[in-house]
Amino acid sequence: MKKDIFTGMLVGLIANSIGLILVATLFGNGDDFTHVIKAAANEGFLGKLISLGAILNLAAFFVFIKKRQDYRARGVLLITVFVAVFTFVFKLF
């Protein structure tokens, strides 16, 4: 059970990272990934990029639900909630 939750959390982190890279690439106008992230942090919309990157977690969540791997889906959901809380706190400061 704990192994499945950890696996789901790992998949959620990887999906979120890949989503962040895709979003930065799509909205970066051909700039380097690190340049886009630095510019987003300077201009105050890094939290929005991270939140958009979490959209891939939705796909991972529904794949696990479809396969009846509920504990892995729970892990993805935990990471998604963590990302939401992180972006909320990041936005405050």
- Residue 63 has what pLDDT? 96
Band (79; pLDDT cuts 50, 70, 90): very high
Tens of pLDDT, residues 20-77: 999 988 888 877 888 988 988 888 888 888 888 889 999 999 999 999 999 999 999 9
Tokens representing residue 70 in the block: 């509920």
- Residue 48 has what pLDDT? 87
- Residue 6 has what pLDDT? 96
More confident residue, 82 or 90: 82
- Residue 92 has what pLDDT? 82
- Residue 4 has what pLDDT? 95
Nearest-angstrom CA–CA distance, 8 and 22: 21
Burial bucket for residue 53 (CB in 10 Å: 0-12, 13-18, 19+): buried
* Coil, strand or helix at 53: helix
